[in-house]
Structure 1
Amino acid sequence: MAAAKPTSADSLSFCLAQLAAAAGEGLGGEKDPATNETPLGRALLALRTRHIKAAGGIERFRARGGLRPLLALLRRAAAADPAPSQAGSGSAPSSVVSAACSGPAPSSGSAPSAVSSSTPSPPVRLRKTLDLALSILANCCTEGACRAEVRRLGGILSLVTILQSMKTDSIQNRTARALGNLAMEPESCGDIHSAGAVPLLVESLTAYQDSQCLQSVVRALRNLADSPQHRLALAQQGAVRPLAELLAAAPDPALTSALVRALLELSRGCSRACAEQLSLGGGLGPLVSLTSHPKRAVREGAILILANLCAQGLVRPALGNAGGVEVLLGELRRRRGPNGSSPVSQQPLVRAVCLLCREAINRARLRDAGGLELLMGLLRDPRASAWHPRVVSALVGFLYDTGALGRLQALGLVPLLAGQLCGEAGDEEEEGREAASWDFPEERTPERAEAGSFQSLRSWLISEGYAADPGDISPDWSPEQCPLSEPGEPASPTPSPTSLRMPCTPRTPGRSPATTAVEEPWGREGPALLLLSRFSQAPDPSGALVTGPALCGLLAYVTGAPGPPSPRVLRILARLTCNPACLEAFVRSYGAALLRAWLVLGVAPDDWPAPRARPARCSQHRELGEMLLQNLTVQAESPFGVGALTHLLLSGSPEDRVACALTLPFICRKPSLWRRLLLDQGGLRLLLTALTRPAPHPLFLFFAADSLSCLQGLVSPTGSPALLPTVPMDLDPPSPCLYEPLLGPAPIPAPDLRFLLDSGLHLPAQRAASATASPFFRALLSGSFAEAQMDLVPLRGLSPSAAWPVLHHLHGCRGCGAALGPVPPLGQPLLGSEAEEALEAAGRFLLPELEEELEEAVGRIHLGPECGPESVGEVFRLGRPRLAAHCARWTLGPGQCPRKRALALVGLVEAAGEEAGLLTEALLAVVMGIESGARVPA
């Protein structure tokens, strides 16, 4: 069958010619009897249904210049509209016609009101022509090049004029669709705003009922909200309330989806006008209902709108009443679940939940819905570290909710807060004034109109120290905005270090000194410190705050802050150390030892064993540490403290007993108390026995070395055994050597005996001198042994270096320097050396004075003031009691560096191993001073 012959309407040239003719000559024309259509109508229909929809059809239409006559046709059609203006019936006023022809933008302030039901529609042919032309233009505006061309040709003004003058559903629908497509580009969007299209589109929302038309208008408004400035302009021109009212009217699903998408766009960076209109339009309840919509896009859009609305304090109470708190919590919980979404999608919900904590009514709902657990989960999550400051600030809202604080403490908030003080979490995002708590609306009310509840609140704030006079308090006050001293904080029991005290604000004339407020820094750590201070005011805060993690966080902030720390943290520490209920916790957790190590000695857990650079404020920290320890001393020496410490030492668990024995030298200054507990009741021996057991604290050996040194100072406050001298022995005047004359070519007197070593070396000797020097040699050389008759006596198991000091000693040499010969230099091992061999020989040959001289030589070389702590363990491994005492004395010496002392004790414990008896006795003797009568290396 032959193909049908194409008609003239199939030609793009024919269609363009008809457009040009209609644009230049008018909209008239005779109908074609065969088709009952005018040529212009056929051309427009062909363009819309065939040419524009074909592949590349829009580009060809634009390239052939079709947009210019199309826009001219739209202007003629708008000018030919006989529809009346908003004033009543009749033909269009001349101003509208001239606007269509000349093109000036209509004023945004002259938007027509709702169209009267008696307004007649434009003629059918004109309406059909406009419908087709607007449909073609809207389709063309889906491509960027056409949008730019339409904007250049002034098409936006023409569309706004049609929107103003043609009040029919179909024309409004297609005009709004064309404007919506044009608004997809920022330049066109700005021109549409400037042309005054927004009031006309807003009017259409209430003037028409057709769903398709409303969807196009809603979409146009959504696309016009492309920037914060445009969103604010839309809200200020009343675009949000009719959208909310339409949503509340339960429209069809397609319109509902369009409304949710538009409101989501308009609520980004939610302005006050947007929040007010959405609330007044009754949109909160429908939005909460839509969060359970079966369609995911609608459901998630409604949730994000609610999250955006939380940025405005004025709407948050109503949002909570509508059920928004539970919805947002549930969605955040779902997204944080195992099958949840990425952290980026959780961010707006985290922000919304934190903002909801600013009103008391929403805090109650959040607490009952499990929000506290959810916020604590965020604080524990390292992936949410960027939100931690925001979460902590939100928890400040629960500052006076005793039940919530108890729950937060049970969930482990305190150590998390302490960790926040010096953490690397991101800074909290600044919120605008409009996000402030709505519990105290921001409008300042005259004094005579203030409610009694606010007057009562004002009086309480002044009495508790939040403000100095009534003029300082406005109704928008909230705890998170007030960096003053928290209520109920007592003054520090002892003066704070002057270098750590923050300056006061200048006194205002007319104020008494007692009511002058003290300004405090309110940095990133401010909310955490305020909560920690609130916890510290409990009758017994020991279970939460006097723990290792909490104390480490507080001390890390004090010593690591780039500037002076907040006075609030100093008050927290003073309050804890002055509370009798916290004494046992400070003992059990090694808190007192930690205060001394970190603040007084400058050694933090991170500094051990390798040191780390810290800000140079050591004198300030030392003053603070001594003040805090003095507070603990006052508690320990009170009748309650004596009973508590006695109970811990005698009846506590093994761990508690060791901790008590270690802590006592730091906090007890009464001799009767520490002597009874540490000496009479065995606390010292208990501590020494625990040295070789598994360490109960990472700094245990450091604490123990410091504790033993402090106790030694208590036992011997006026002095202690001197350290080994700084002058090397080889520089001292040597004693005369009595053995050397036997070694020359003409010895005087002549030797009558020679000792034979394993190496074959012959060493000359005097029989009488050797026999009188030692019971061993007396029996060997003068008794019934065969050696008494021999001139060459073998000495087995003795090297020449080890035999050298023995021979010198046998012939009366004391201090001639021979004992230094077998001692290896510093840094070389002593075990297996010739010094150990000489010591063993001195013991075997019953030469105690030689043993002491050799030990003195070992101590002089390996335990001198210039020696390092690693030498102490090396000397102790020789296993000799006198050397063990020397090691203990070097370790606990009064002038010893705390770090070296602790490292030396570590070496001693490692050298002792499981055989700790020698170490225990040596340390006990040094601490108690019972070895002071023993010979000390000169």
Structure 2
Amino acid sequence: MAAAKATLTDSLSFCLAQLTAAAGEGLYGGKDPATNETPLGRALLALRTRHIKAAGGIERFRARGGLRPLLALLRRAAAADPAPSPAGPGSAPLSVASAASAGPSPSPNPASSAVSPSSPSPPMRLRKTLDLALSILANCCTEGACRAEVRRLGGILPLVTILQCVKTDSIQNRTARALGNLAMEPESCGEIHSAGAVPLLVESLTACQDSQCLQSVVRALRNLADSPQHRLALAQQGAVRPLAELLAAAPDPALTSALVRALLELSRGCTRACAEQLSLGGGLGPLVSLASHPKRMVRETTILILANLCAQGLVRPALGNAGGVEVLLGELRRRRGPSGASPASQQPLVRAVCLLCREAINRARLRDAGGLELLMGLLRDPRASAWHPRVVAALVGFLYDTGALGRLQALGLVPLLAGQLCGDAGEEEEEGREAASWDFPEERTPERAEAGSFRSLRSWLISEGYAGDVSPDWSPEHCPLPEPTDPISSTPGKTSLRTPGIPRTLGRSPAGPSALEEPWGREGPALLLLSRFSQAPDPSGALVTGPALCGLLAYVTGAPGPPNPRALRILARLTCNPACLEAFVRSYGAALLRAWLVLGVAPDDWPAPRTRPVRRNQHRELGEMLLQNLTVQAESPFGVGALTHLLLSGSSEDRVACALTLPFICRKPSLWRRLLLDQGGLRLLLTALTRPAPHPLFLFFAADSLFCLQGLVSPTMSPAFPAAVPVDVEPPSPCLYEPLLGPAPVPAPDLYFLLDSGLQLPCSASSLSNSHMDLVPLRGLSPSAAWPILHHLHGCRGCGAALGPIPLAGQPLLGSEAEEALEAAGRFLLPSLEEELEEAVGRIHLGPEGSPESVGEVFRLGRPRLTAYCARWTLGPARWLVEAAGEEAGPLTEALLSVVMGIES
């Protein structure tokens, strides 16, 4: 087969020469009789169909300098169009066209005027030239080097001018395509915005009927939305509404795909202008419908648009009416399923669902669609811990929805909230002012700039002391805070009960400048919901449980600063509620309050100690106040009946718990004597010591209970505490290390211990049998902690050196030199020194002048022998109580002592 005949246009050089000549001399050349085409037309067609599409063709075209004449040709074409459209609002100014036409005037060319009557008219030929040139430029701009070259040569302004002047669909299509390709780079994108292209592209959306042209324009707008500033500019110039109107017109599938992709970009960080235009353009309904589109890209893109729109409160009610709540919930449920997507893909949907909880109409839809169960699933999921603060803040919206609160409580919200108080979940993300609830749009004022974040609910939310009937659909955002009042006992004949001292500060709120503002931190939403639960007639089943009480107490004692007063009021309200008394008894709640707040021993401190913020006096005062509240309830007629029923007719576990709790909450001698002695409560408690412990801290609780009972029996007498450890009445043993310390040591030291501080302590080498060194480092020891070790190595036993690092009674032991010395004795395998140091700690801190606080200090060291000393110190006064138990005094005494010895072993 013969090879195709070569033509002039097969040469890139020839095509570039024609392009250069046309750019410099004029657009119209003579027609070639053989082909009935102009040389420029043939060159442009060859460039587009052969040279540019060839492998590496765009790079060769740019390297040969083809972009400069191509852009010059476009400038001339833009200036030569005989009928430019008038500039509309926001269009590029008319000076743009005149600026684009600047350049050398075309030289006289006889061929240019010799146009035969049968040839196309100049406008028609001009449009064909523009079509080809713009197509070439758009293809070249798919490569980054060409985009940079076009920007350097000032090629953006001619394109905007063509967009303004030539309203032919094909020209608009190719111009928009070229601008869209250029907008793929931020630098070009900014220049296109500055050149005034956006209003012209928006105008094309409404004027153009061709689908291909519309797709190019939509794509250009999408690429121009590359930053928050540019997205805002697009929305402010009206780019969103025509897109929404086109989507509502049910376009062809290709245009639909282009529209949803553009709307996704424009709705990122959704602005108010974007949401308003999309809603006014009728786009919400079509978007909800497209969420079930068979094409995955369209479906997922649409769902993300709906999620983005939730950031604007003004559009959320309409979005809910269009079915958006059910769509977003369904998609989040699907993504959280066994075959669902990664947690990162769930994040925008979680945020959207939480934002939908801010309006009453959407809360109702979410509740009916199973949204509460979904939110609870998120709270239970440790992988979703970063979203837990947001979910808890969203649930605050249901604060006065009685049905929803009941459902949440049944799903186990309370222990999850208690765990949130001291958890390590991330901070709640800040939302813009526009994300605030739209239930009260008329109250939006400029000075309330922080109203969008649920963190700012501190200015809106009602205090937990609210009383009265409230509509379940009433949002709590605009309820004023009442003046603080002390809770009043509902028991007949009882007066007001004590509540913690709660400092309040004046702050601004929607209720007016006189409204009082609660502190609001990361724990604020969880505390508000817990407070709402605590206001129920009988909150015992949810709040007076081990996990809930531990969460509240851990927050109160572990907060880095003063705890939120709402947490203190919750505890006060629970202890003041007669309906909670039995629950406090069954759950060992009273014993827990005393151990954690008064004695400073938390469940996590058993058996290993933990460092906690020290506000001992405030915690002790709080614990005593809460126990006093329980005492008021216990000594009322209702309380006496409840305690008697538990002790005599309850289950075996309830009877033991009641016997243990009575010394904490009963102060009347006639009551505790009748229940503990006459009705066998003490016998129950002592017998339980020989059985498996029903609570991790049962032994500690029991010892403390017996100690409190001894104080009830002899409130004016100092208890005769036995010594925690045997007191050595013999004179101290002679010190064998002291001779090495004098000015003339005998014998002379031949070895020194080097401490971290640089201090060298003398030693006799004979005390270290395996030492061949003159200087032995002792790492991690202070001089006071090293002192008893050196004495012990030289044979000192009972010389008093072990007392040196022990702080005085009442001073902290954790972190002291005593703890350092104990650790060093264990590290150097000196068990007899450990025992001597522990006896010294017991002698100083657990003597007759010791206090429960001293016991707590010793207990927190976490050493078994010292724990036994603590138990023996506490149980010591209980011997007479055992005798008061009746006929079984002997066996019970032995059982009690065996428990103590068991701990010691």
Give TM-score, length-normalised by structure 2: 0.76
Change (3 A) 1:287 1:793: closer
C-alpha spacing 1:167/1:117, structure 2 compared with 1 (3 Å): farther
Deviation of 1:676 after TM superposition, in Å, equals 1.3
Structure 2 vs 1, CA of residues 149 and 328 (structure 1 numbering), >3 Å: closer, same or farther?
A: same
Question: How far has the Cα of 1:87 moved from its partner?
Answer: 8.4
- Greater CA drift, 226-235 or 427-436: 427-436
Q: CA deviation at 1:512?
A: 17
Residue number in structure 2 paired with 1:904? none
Q: Which moved more, 1:860-869 or 1:247-256?
A: 860-869
Residue 692 of structure 1 and its aligned partner are, at CA, apart by 2.4
CA 1:512/1:486 → structure 2, altered by over 3 Å: closer, same or farther?
closer
Candidates 757, 769, 784, aligned match of 2:767: 784
Residue 4 of structure 1 deviates from its aligned partner by: 2.7
Inter-partner Cα distance in structure 2 for 1:843 and 1:567? 44
Residues 119/407 of structure 1: CA separation in 2 closer, same or farther (3 Å cut): farther
Alpha-carbon distance in 1 for matches of 2:40, 2:566: 83
Q: Does the 8 A contact of 2:504 with 2:518 survive in 1? A: no
Q: Does the aligned pair in 1 maintain the 2:400–2:475 contact within 8 Å?
A: no
Partners in 2 of 1:113 and 1:624 — Cα distance? 103
Q: Does structure 2 retain, via aligned residues, the 8 Å contact 1:546–1:585?
A: yes
Following superposition, the deviation at residue 691 of structure 1 comes to: 1.5
C-alpha separation between the residues in 2 aligned to 1:367 and 1:584?
33
Return closer, same or farther for 1:723/1:35 CA change in 2, 3 Å cut-off.
same
Matched residue SS, 1:718:
coil
Indicate the larger mover: 185-194 or 684-693: 684-693
> Alpha-carbon deviation of 1:693?
1.9
CA displacement 1:185-233 (0-9 Å, x = unmatched): 0000000000000000000000011000000000000000000000000
Give the conservation status (yes or no) of the 8 Å contact 1:441–1:476.
no
* CA–CA separation in structure 2 for the residues paired with 1:787 and 1:54: 86
Structure 2 CA distance, aligned partners of 1:558 and 1:472? Answer: 31
* Inter-CA distance 370–670: structure 2 relative to 1 (3 Å threshold): same
Separation of aligned partners in 2, 1:243 and 1:50: 36
Q: Whole-Å Cα distance in 1 between the matches of residues 890 and 285 of structure 2?
A: 78
SS at match of 1:729: coil
Out of 57-66 and 732-741, give the one that drifted further.
732-741
Instruction: Classify 1:714/1:126 alpha carbon distance in 2 versus 1 (closer, same or farther; 3 Å).
Output: same
Separation (CA, whole Å) in 1 of partners of 2:755 and 2:36: 140
Secondary structure of 1:314's aligned partner: coil
Residues 534, 103 of structure 1: alpha-carbon distance in 2 compared, 3 angstrom cutoff: farther
- Distance change (3 Å), C-alpha of 1:104 and 1:509: farther
* Structure 1 residue 670, shift from structure 2 partner: 1.2
1:383 CA drift (Å): 0.8
- CA change 1:16–1:450 in 2 (3 A) is closer
- Distance, in Å, in 1 between the alignment partners of 2:596 and 2:108 is 69
Secondary structure at 2:460 match in 1: helix
Q: Distance in 2 between matches of 1:122 and 1:830?
A: 100
SS at match of 2:517: coil
The within-5 A match list for 1:232-251 is 232-251=232-251
- 1:562 CA drift (Å): 1.1
Is 1:496 paired with 2:493?
yes
Structure 1 residues 550-575: Cα deviation after superposition (integer angstroms, max 9, x where no partner)? 00111111111111111111111111
Question: How far 1:472 sits from its partner (Å)?
Answer: 23
**Residues 762 and 675 (structure 1 numbering): CA distance in 2 closer, same or farther, change over 3 Å?**
farther
Identity rate of aligned residues, in percent? 90
CA distance in 1 between counterparts of 2:536 and 2:620 reads 28
Match of 2:480 among 478, 483, 495: 483
Per the TM alignment, residue 100 of structure 1 is displaced from its structure 2 partner at its CA by 2.3
* 2:29–2:111 Cα contact (<8 Å) kept: no
TM-aligned CA deviation for residue 710 of structure 1? 1.2
For 1:90 and 1:217, the matched residues in 2 are separated by 17
Q: 2:507, 2:517 within 8 Å by CA — same for their partners in 1? A: no
The count of corresponding residues between Structure 1 and Structure 2 is 896
Secondary structure at 1:787 match in 2: coil
Shift of 1:683: 1.1
Q: Return the offset for 1:157.
A: 0.3
The CA distance in 2 between the partners of 1:539 and 1:340, in whole Å, is 42
Cα pair distance change 1:9/1:601, threshold 3 Å: same
1:453-481 CA distances to partner (integer Å, 9 max, x unpaired)? 99999999999999xxxx99999996358
Shift of 1:144: 0.5
Query: Are the structure 2 counterparts of residues 246 and 507 from structure 1 closer, same or farther at C-alpha, using a change threshold of 3 Å?
Result: same
Mapped contact 1:437–1:476 kept (Cα < 8 A) = no
Native 8 Å contact 2:260 2:302 kept in 1: yes
C-alpha distance in structure 2 between counterparts of 1:913 and 1:313, whole Å? 72
Aligned to 2:885: 912
Please identify, of 526-535 and 245-254, the stretch whose mean Cα deviation from structure 2 is larger: 526-535
Residues 521-541 of structure 1, C-alpha deviation per residue, up to 9 Å, x if partnerless? 111111111111111111000
Residues 679-729 of structure 1 deviation map (CA, whole Å, 9 limit, x = unaligned): 111111111111222221111111111111111222333447634469977
Q: Does 1:850 align with 2:833?
A: yes
Q: 1:635 Cα deviation (Å)?
A: 0.5
Alpha-carbon separation, structure 2, partners of 1:224 and 1:851: 75
Residue 674 of structure 1, CA deviation: 1.1
Task: Return the offset for 1:653.
Answer: 0.8
Out of 561, 564, 567, the position equivalent to 2:562 is: 564
Gap change, CA 1:248 and 1:539, over 3 Å in 2: same
SS in 2 for 1:823: coil
Name which of structure 1's ranges 786-795 and 97-106 shifts more when overlaid on structure 2.
786-795
Residues 817 and 687 of structure 1: CA distance in aligned 2, closer, same or farther (over 3 Å): same
**How far apart are the structure 2 equivalents of 1:838 and 1:30?**
106
Q: Which residue of 1 aligns with 2:517?
A: 519
CA distance in 1, matches of 2:259, 2:99: 32
Alpha-carbon displacement from aligned partner over 1:507-526 (angstroms, at most 9, x marks no partner)? 99999999x53322111111
Q: Which moved more, 1:231-240 or 1:796-805?
A: 796-805
Aligned CA distance change for structure 1 residues 838 and 724 (closer, same or farther; 3 Å): farther
CA distance in 1, matches of 2:484, 2:726: 64
Q: Is the 8 A contact 2:84 2:166 kept in 1?
A: no
Identify the residue that residue 926 of structure 1 maps to in structure 2.
Answer: 899
CA distance in 2 between partners of 1:102 and 1:795 (Å) = 88
Q: Deviations over 1:72-124 (max 9, x none)?
A: 11111111212243389999999675232139999999999999999999832
Is the contact made by 1:823 and 1:835 (CA closer than 8 Å) also made in structure 2?
yes
Answer whether contact 1:863 1:890 (CA < 8 A) is retained: yes
Give the CA deviation at 1:266. 0.1
CA contact (8 A) 2:722 2:876 kept: no
- Normalising by the residue count of structure 1, what TM-score does the alignment of the two structures yield? 0.74
Call closer, same or farther: CA 1:544–1:368 in 2, change over 3 Å. same
Q: Secondary structure at the match of 2:829?
A: coil
* Pair 78,496 (structure 1): closer, same or farther in 2 beyond 3 Å: farther
With over 3 angstroms needed to count, the CA separation of the structure-2 counterparts of 1:76 and 1:486, relative to structure 1, is: farther
State the distance in 1 between where 2:67 and 2:470 align.
64
Cα deviation, residue 344, structure 1: 0.6
Uncovered stretches (5+) of structure 1, i.e. residues with no partner:
765-781, 895-908, 933-938
Separation of aligned partners in 2, 1:788 and 1:71: 90
Secondary structure of 1:763's match? strand
- Residues of 1 paired with 2:110 and 2:369: CA distance? 50
SS in 1 for 2:496: helix
Over residues 821-856 of structure 1, what are the superposed CA-to-partner deviations in whole Å (9 max), with x where a residue is unaligned? 999999999999999999999999999999999999
Greater CA drift, 25-34 or 474-483: 474-483
Residue equivalent to 1:879: 862
Distance (whole Å) between structure 1 residues aligned to residue 71 and residue 777 of structure 2: 129
Displacement of 1:128: 1.0
Moved more, 878-887 or 916-925: 878-887
Name the CA shift for 1:125/1:880 in 2 (closer, same or farther; >3 Å): closer
310 and 851 in structure 1: CA distance in 2 versus 1, 3 angstrom threshold:
closer
Root mean square deviation, CA, Å: 14.0
Q: Secondary structure at the match of 2:761?
A: strand
Give how far 1:610 is off: 2.2
Spell out, residue by residue over 1:12-65, the C-alpha distance to the aligned partner (whole angstroms, 9 max, x if none): 000000001100111112222222211111111110011000111000000000
Q: Is the 8 A contact 1:442 1:476 kept in 2?
A: no
Structure 2 equivalent of residue 585 of structure 1 = 583
**Whole-angstrom CA distance in 2 between matches of 1:294 and 1:12:** 46
Go from structure 1 to structure 2 and tell me whether the alpha carbon gap of 1:880 and 1:706 turns closer, same or farther (over 3 Å shift): closer
Q: CA 1:176/1:916 → structure 2, altered by over 3 Å: closer, same or farther?
A: farther
- Alpha-carbon deviation of 1:673? 1.2
Match of 1:88 in 2: 88
**Of 113-122 and 264-273, the range deviating more from structure 2:** 113-122
Distance 2:82 2:771 in 1: 151
Residues 473, 269 of structure 1: alpha-carbon distance in 2 compared, 3 angstrom cutoff: farther
Whether contact under 8 Å (1:881, 1:918) holds in the other structure is no
| Matched position secondary structure for 1:755 | strand
